[in-house]
Chains A and B, each alone.
Chain A
């Protein structure tokens, strides 16, 4: 019996969330007095996982798995879980993991808790804390099945390094028909995505037009952040829909969320409340966002943002 964790990679390189879920898996394995086995699909250097508490890596390498496919990937994980007799399976909250997890839950007949923000408060009954009601509450949820599936919220647990060596083993599962074929992908590969980002810089209607996004992008670049926007901004076509965050857009669970010219409507907050630290820049001192924010600047974005960029550049230069 071990804890099984799916460590995602892209073009052979582990994503940051892979190390985060590995860290989480290690914490759960310690509670259960067992070891961590990771499944790495077409990853180049699986030994890196040892630094985050993984004891053993099942290396799957197969060109049929180059493009993500939820059903096939779920089946690979199912076979790995069965091989390892895993009672707890852990995945991240990336779009891919959230896509495959319910299929995996069916395959393993496992109770599934998503959006989990902390290690189990008890392992018997197995109880985890997850967000509910679009981040307006937490639910303490027990998973009652023999095999348990947990999707950990991004940035909820963080990275915990440990000194260890992961042993490696080749694993060749049988691959089922996928049923869904990718025809084309339209993605900016050089950009930090909202899901992976630790910092997100987001602009709202207060920025007046798409021509003013240069400073948002520059601020994001200085911080190594992803850019995002409020719903009207994507509705107006100023920014792509994939940047729209909120209840009807993408969820953001960043360490730092900077909202510029965004009023802080409840539907917007619903998507970003899980972020840890929120900074608001808005001309209107009465904007509702100030009630949800940790730090605020009442001021004109067109004056504040360029100055903030300069200050941050100076700060980074000193680091």
Chain B
């Protein structure tokens, strides 16, 4: 089985979010970038397929050269080779179109992407990629088994979960649950050394425009101080929620 894992290069959750150029650009100054958490679960599940059932695992990112350390980290975790599509990621549609070309050229059976990335939280790329490549699609995937060309997936739904049957080629939008958090892999020294020798191919983008653009960013207005209510005066809390906040 040929597996492609999409890796988004995102600011670490604890990063302070700031903007430059009159609030039109994300300020990367001092920001630590990591593998998108949802993608990390997918990458570890791909490793499981590789080790238990035999599969090749490639990772891909659409982005400039600055994303290569993130791809190297994925190689250190165990992916066989990495592909970087050499263009800035502008919006979900444009990224999905670039990835679709990689999927078609590589003839992948299974594409694992994260349910959403923690920078723009679009939740667009996995579904768009499935649509563009005519593959089956399972979103919010929390477990996946593959037997030949048949796949069984469990996905989270509002208020519970659902088990579905489908076939390869398949794209999933994965998340926590694909593997246990305790099973997530951290690159070790050997992995890091090996990653240096693994192929990281840079491919040129196809012609695809972004369909949306972030023209300006805003930060939420700073919140006023919390109103503290004494534990001995909970009537006051009920009163505030009813009359001031108007939420009950």
Chain A residues close to B by CB (< 8 Å)? 70-71, 74, 94-96, 98-103, 105-107, 110-115, 127, 129, 131-145, 179-189, 191, 193-196, 198-199, 223, 235, 241-242, 244, 247-250, 255-256, 266-267, 270, 273, 276-277, 279-280, 290-300, 303-304, 307-308, 311-312, 315
Within 8 Å by CB of A299, from B17, B125, B226, B231, lies B231
Within 8 Å by CB of A311, from B227, B230, B238, lies B238
CB 8 Å contact bits of B16-34 with A (1 = contact, 0 = none): 0101000000000000000
Residue of A with least CB distance to B209: A144
Q: Which residues of B contact A145 (CB under 8 A)?
A: 211
* B17-A137 in contact (CB<8A): yes
Q: Which residues of B contact A255 (CB under 8 A)?
A: 247
Q: Which residues of B contact A138 (CB under 8 A)?
A: 217-220
Within 8 Å by CB of B159, from A133, A193, A304, lies A193
Residue of A with least CB distance to B126: A102
Q: A101-B127, A132-B120, A298-B231 are in contact. Are A94 and B158 (CB under 8 A)?
A: yes
* A70-B137 in contact (CB<8A): yes
Q: Which residues of A contact B164 (CB under 8 A)?
A: 180-183
Within 8 Å by CB of A103, from B120, B131, B231, lies B131
Measured in the bound complex, the distance between the Cα atoms of B165 and A189 in whole Å is: 23
Q: Which residues of B contact A270 (CB under 8 A)?
A: 13, 118
Residue of A with least CB distance to B177: A241
Stretch in B42-50, B68-76, B138-146 with 4+ CB within 8 Å of A: B138-146
CB 8 Å contact bits of B189-232 with A (1 = contact, 0 = none): 00000000000000000000111111111111001001111110
* B248-A95 in contact (CB<8A): no
Q: Is the interface of B mostly helix, strand, loop or mixed?
A: mixed
* A188-B217 in contact (CB<8A): no
Within 8 Å by CB of A295, from B14, B219, B240, lies B240
Measured in the bound complex, the distance between the Cα atoms of B131 and A118 in whole Å is: 28
Report B177 CB to chain A, min CB distance, Å. Answer: 6
Within 8 Å by CB of B218, from A137, A142, A280, lies A137
- Give the interface size bracket for B toward A: 35 or more
Residue of A with least CB distance to B18: A137
* A181-B166 in contact (CB<8A): yes
* B215-A199 in contact (CB<8A): no
* B158-A184 in contact (CB<8A): no
Within 8 Å by CB of A137, from B211, B219, B238, lies B219
Residue of B with least CB distance to A93: B123
Report B32 CB to chain A, min CB distance, Å. Answer: 14
Measured in the bound complex, the distance between the Cα atoms of B121 and A101 in whole Å is: 14
Measured in the bound complex, the distance between the Cα atoms of B91 and A300 in whole Å is: 46
* B118-A247 in contact (CB<8A): yes
Q: Which residues of B contact A191 (CB under 8 A)?
A: 159
Measured in the bound complex, the distance between the Cα atoms of B247 and A256 in whole Å is: 6
Report A152 CB to chain B, min CB distance, Å. Answer: 14
Q: A112-B124, A181-B166, A295-B241 are in contact. Are A187 and B212 (CB under 8 A)?
A: no
| Most chain B CB inside 10 Å of its own CB: which residue of A100, A179, A250, A296 | A179
* A280-B226 in contact (CB<8A): yes
Within 8 Å by CB of A308, from B96, B130, B217, B237, lies B237
Residue of A with least CB distance to B176: A248
Interface residues in B95-133 by Cβ distance below 8 A to A read 96, 118-128, 130-132
* B241-A179 in contact (CB<8A): no
* A131-B121 in contact (CB<8A): yes
Within 8 Å by CB of A296, from B121, B229, B238, lies B229
Measured in the bound complex, the distance between the Cα atoms of B113 and A300 in whole Å is: 42
New A-B contacts (9) at CB < 8 Å, excluding given A143-B211, A256-B247, A295-B245: A95-B158, A133-B121, A138-B217, A141-B212, A180-B165, A186-B162, A247-B13, A256-B248, A304-B231
Report B19 CB to chain A, min CB distance, Å. Answer: 8
* A295-B212 in contact (CB<8A): no
Q: Which residues of B contact A307 (CB under 8 A)?
A: 231, 234
Q: Which residues of A contact B152 (CB under 8 A)?
A: 183
B37 at the interface (CB under 8 A from A): yes
B87 at the interface (CB under 8 A from A): no
Q: Which residues of B contact A194 (CB under 8 A)?
A: 158-159
Interface residues in B134-161 by Cβ distance below 8 A to A read 136-140, 142, 152, 156-161
Q: Which residues of B contact A187 (CB under 8 A)?
A: 157, 159-162
Measured in the bound complex, the distance between the Cα atoms of B128 and A110 in whole Å is: 11
Q: A95-B157, A248-B176, A290-B226 are in contact. Are A184 and B162 (CB under 8 A)?
A: yes
* A256-B127 in contact (CB<8A): no
Q: What 7 A-B pairs are tightest by C-beta distance, nearest first?
A: A102-B127, A187-B160, A111-B211, A106-B131, A299-B231, A193-B159, A256-B247
* B231-A132 in contact (CB<8A): no
* A144-B211 in contact (CB<8A): yes
Measured in the bound complex, the distance between the Cα atoms of B175 and A91 in whole Å is: 23
* A99-B140 in contact (CB<8A): yes
* B162-A185 in contact (CB<8A): yes
* B118-A105 in contact (CB<8A): no
* B121-A114 in contact (CB<8A): yes
* A185-B234 in contact (CB<8A): no
